[in-house]
Amino acid sequence: MNKIERMKITGIILLFLFNLLGVVPSMGQTQEEKVYSKIDLMYNVLNQKDKATLPAEEYSKCFDEVDLAVMLMIDSLPTDAFKAKAELVAYKNVMNTLGLYVDRGGKDLVKKYKKRLKGLDMKSPFIDELPYIYEANLYGRYMMNNKIGMSIKRGTYVLKNSRNGEFQRRFVQPILQGYMAYYGYSDSLRMLMKDVKRYSRDSQLLAFSEELRAKCLALSKGKVAPAFTVMDEDGKTYQLSDFRGKYVLMDIWATTCGPCIKAMPGLIETSKQYENYDHIVIMSFALNVGQEGWAKFLREKDFAGKMVHMRCESNISQFMTDYAVGVLLRYVLIDPEGKIVDAWHIAPSEKEFTKIFNKEVGIR
């Protein structure tokens, strides 16, 4: 009995065992999804600790046995379309097993890996027929394999290559939302929004992208800053208009935000740095309901009285909508006329802050 025959027999035995493991039907799954789940189960053996830590030659042998068992199962499927989709699920698993091991395995394993992926066609029409989770994982693994690392680039790749509008929306929408929350209307976000307009097949994604764009433009430089009411530590209330004639840098935070609390001592130091400039107000702007709990927190943390501390007295949800607050920390700079300078300002903890801020507020 030669090596190929032995591998085939091993593959058939493995297939039989995996069939035994898969006899209990998964509730709510279609027949195709059950097959895809079984393929996942077969390959997942290779990621178990006793296999993943094997020397390259032994791991390669184990991979061949599992891979052959999967191919035998796929060959037994009733239609060419079913086989094509199952092969795509197999490719996803190859990248998730051999692809994770390959960097430790030397040139021979790299060559083997590239050869195994040679037939993968990411323009296959069958990709868009896969269940969402399988399509997402296939794209994700492929992009990792090809070092397409940034979320923006991943979003663009999906827009250009997927013909499934729902998948485009479910993949790209969180990227749009996340980038706006962290960076505002950045060059990267503008680029992705253009790609949405150019390539998206989903009306909901197009509408969502336009809605975010409108929010960003409403907070762009020179736009009137949305009005709000704040209360200081002593219970005195102020309107945004009360700060006319001054630059206002707001540190938007909450007492439940760990990174915000950690950054507060640095903000206090920044505030001291500019305390002799009458045209500048640096304030901590807390999104907390209830004056007593907030004031007590400031005292307990030894933050009280050390800078301008304010608490949002407006409707917090409305404020967050008006300023498109999706994450904390967030910094906003408003000019003496009550207009936006930068609604996603660089943090005081960044090295470039002093140079950028001084230029914005007219300090030479």
Which pLDDT band holds residue 2 (cuts at 50, 70, 90)?
A: low
Q: Which residue has the higher pLDDT, 33 or 151?
A: 33
Q: What tokens does 97 get?
A: 């097993």
Cβ proximity of 139 and 160 under 8 Å: no
d(CA 7, CA 33): 27
d(CA 307, CA 30): 61
Task: Judge whether residue 19 has pLDDT over 90.
Answer: no
Q: What is the CA radius of gyration of the chain?
A: 28
Q: What is the pLDDT of residue 25?
A: 42
Residue 115 burial by Cβ neighbours in a 10 Å radius (0-12, 13-18, 19+): exposed
Write down the H helix ranges in the chain.
Answer: 3-21, 31-44, 49-52, 56-75, 80-101, 106-116, 132-145, 151-161, 165-183, 187-199, 203-218, 258-273, 291-300, 316-322, 353-361
How do residues 279-299 score in pLDDT, each as one tens digit? Answer: 999 999 999 888 899 999 999
Residue with tokens 């991979």: 63
Sign of CA dihedral 79, 82, 85, 86: negative
Q: What is the pLDDT of residue 75?
A: 92
**Percentage of residues of the chain with pLDDT beyond 90:** 62
CA dist 312 to 87, 248, 291, 304, 315, Å?
Answer: 56, 15, 10, 16, 8
Domains of the chain, with CATH numbers?
A: 3-215 (no CATH), 229-361 (3.40.30.10)
Say whether 131 sits in a helix, a strand or coil.
coil
For residue 333, give the H/E element and its range: strand 330-334
Q: What is the pLDDT of residue 148?
A: 66
Angle value at C-alpha 154, between 153 and 155, nearest 5 degrees: 90
How do residues 20-67 score in pLDDT, each as one tens digit? Answer: 434 334 456 788 889 999 999 999 888 888 888 888 888 989 999 999
Is the whole-model pTM more than 0.75? no
How do residues 82-135 score in pLDDT, each as one tens digit? Answer: 999 999 999 999 998 888 887 776 788 888 899 999 999 988 999 989 988 888
Among 136-150, 172-186, 238-252, the range scoring the smallest mean pLDDT is 136-150
Report the candidate in 245, 176, 255, 175 with the shortest Cα–Cα distance to residue 209. 176
Q: What tokens does 76 get?
A: 């037994």
Strand partners of residue 285:
252, 310
Cβ proximity of 250 and 342 under 8 Å: no
Task: Judge whether residue 9 has pLDDT over 70.
Answer: no
Q: What is the mean pLDDT of residues 153-164?
A: 90
Which pLDDT band holds residue 197 (cuts at 50, 70, 90)?
A: very high
How do residues 305-323 score in pLDDT, each as one tens digit? Answer: 999 999 999 889 999 999 9
Q: What is the mean pLDDT of residues 5-20?
A: 46
CB atoms within 10 A of CB 301: 12
Which pLDDT band holds residue 225 (cuts at 50, 70, 90)?
A: very high
Q: What is the pLDDT of residue 53?
A: 84
